[in-house]
Amino acid sequence: MVNILPIWKMKSLTIVDKKEIQQETPDFKRMLNQILVVSLGFLFTDYFIIYFSNQVLNATGLQLGLYYSIYTAASFLTSFLIGYLSDKYSKKNLIRIGSFLRGIAYIGIYLSIISFSIMGIYLSSIVLGAAVGIFWIPFDSLIAEKTSKYHRSSAYAKKTFRTDLGSIIGVFIGLFIYIIFTEFQDYNHLLAYSPIIIYALGNFIAFLRFATIIDESLTISEKEERKEKISNKRTNQLKPTKYKFGLMLFFSVLFIIALIRATASIFMMPYILNNIENSAVLSIWVYLSPAIFCMIFAPKLGHLGDSVNNYLGISLACIFGGVVTFMMIFCRSIWIFILLGVFDSLIIYFYYFIIRNYLSRISITHRGKVFGLYSTINNIGYIIGAIFGGLLFDFIAETAPFIVSAFVEWSLIPIFLIAIKLTKSNVKETIN
């Protein structure tokens, strides 16, 4: 606990180089390394659910949107509760429960695919969605506790690096097995999708490993970090009403961003399969290529997120994100589409690191609730965006989700900047 001196006894402290501040706890890297096995199935499973539903089961855009809405609704229903629980109880145990449930969900998805059951996919998505909230909210809170505020964007970038690396490894494992049992041998439905079982086993292993490698007592304390100038914040803090309005505005914009991202991203693959390339092996590079480049550049983007001005960073992300999304709909080459997808993903990651950093500093004692609230509104936006995008895709035009996404993203920039202006003076962890 930090001992705050009375105003009349405060002395100026010299700001030290960020390199002199402890960046992370000793168990932080071990904790992050388990993400490699947890994330093995992220890309392969997500892609083949879309491919299988669209190409084999002939699911409509609305049915695909319904799958994502169910998945996200399950995450939404658990998010804020888990945010509250992660502030009260063991984050490690919640993370372990999330790993175990993800493994169960993968088994359910595999059984649904081999039995050609879209209803089974829907039911498995409920378990998977719940597992997402249970796992990531306490995990993101632990990252904030175990890292310095000066290096937090980099910390989230390290998490993303391992997530992408695990996903890429999982894709190569999955594609290798899938190609063997579809291209070089007689089609074997049971074995072609068997990598999903491997991904389930990875999560069960993580469930066991997290019990021994996470030490919740190890944190970067605020006292160790207070090597910056102490000043009287009473004079520059905004009135509570303005601060609350700023927070409401900030989270409202995050909600709309989530909505338009879902509107476009979910229907990117059906758009490609219907208009550009219908090969399962070739079109998966739309997922794989951005993951590879984001994995490579995630650490650099994290460092950039720690040093860039919030106003500039968010403005650039929204401007270029909208431009790239708009360019995609005029593309007829799978390789140019993949290149644009790489740029789009890098922009999204950069935005993600800035936002996560800012959210982690809003409150110290209520980090779980903050991340829970963010996950909740993110999920609500995703639910509405998935259905809204499905309606646009089916009844307006297959390009409509992307056009709407780009224009809305551009229009949000000034609102985003106002929200940060109203809230930044009252965040609990400030950075000079």
In a domain, 145, yes or no: yes
In a domain, 286, yes or no: yes
Q: How many residues does the chain have?
A: 432
Mean pLDDT for all residues in the chain? 80
In a domain, 4, yes or no: no
* Cα gap 212→222, rounded to integer Å: 26
In a domain, 6, yes or no: no
Q: What is the pLDDT of residues 263-283, one digit of tens each?
A: 887 778 778 878 887 776 676
220 close to 24: Cβ distance less than 8 angstroms? yes
The percentage of residues in the chain with a pLDDT greater than 70, rounded to a whole number, is 85
196 close to 41: Cβ distance less than 8 angstroms? yes
429 close to 364: Cβ distance less than 8 angstroms? yes
Tens digit of pLDDT per residue, the chain (432 long)?
Answer: 334 433 333 333 334 455 556 678 888 899 999 999 999 998 888 877 877 776 667 777 677 767 777 887 888 788 878 888 888 889 999 999 999 999 999 999 999 888 888 888 889 989 998 998 899 989 988 998 888 878 888 888 889 899 989 988 998 899 899 888 887 777 777 888 899 999 999 999 999 999 899 988 888 755 444 544 444 444 445 557 777 888 888 888 889 888 888 888 777 877 887 888 777 667 678 777 887 888 888 888 888 877 777 777 778 888 888 888 888 888 888 888 889 888 988 888 888 888 888 887 777 777 778 888 888 888 788 878 878 888 888 888 888 888 888 888 888 888 888 888 887 766 665 555
* Number of domains forming the structure of the chain: 1
pLDDT of residue 207: 95
In a domain, 228, yes or no: no
pTM comes to: 0.72
* Cα gap 74→146, rounded to integer Å: 28
In a domain, 271, yes or no: yes
* Cα gap 292→286, rounded to integer Å: 11
DSSP character string of 299-339: HHHHHHHHHS-HHHHHHHHHHHHHHHHHHHTT---HHHHHH
In a domain, 408, yes or no: yes
Q: Which two tokens stand for residue 81?
A: 């509760």
In a domain, 142, yes or no: yes
pLDDT of residue 105: 95
Q: Which two tokens stand for residue 383?
A: 């639910």
* Cα gap 176→78, rounded to integer Å: 35
Q: What is the pLDDT of residues 341-400, one digit of tens each?
A: 889 888 888 888 888 888 877 777 777 788 888 888 887 888 788 788 888 888 888 888
157 close to 298: Cβ distance less than 8 angstroms? yes
Residue 75: domain span? 33-215+238-426
For residue 186, give the CATH number of its domain: 1.20.1250.20
* Cα gap 243→303, rounded to integer Å: 28
- Strand, helix or coil at 50? helix
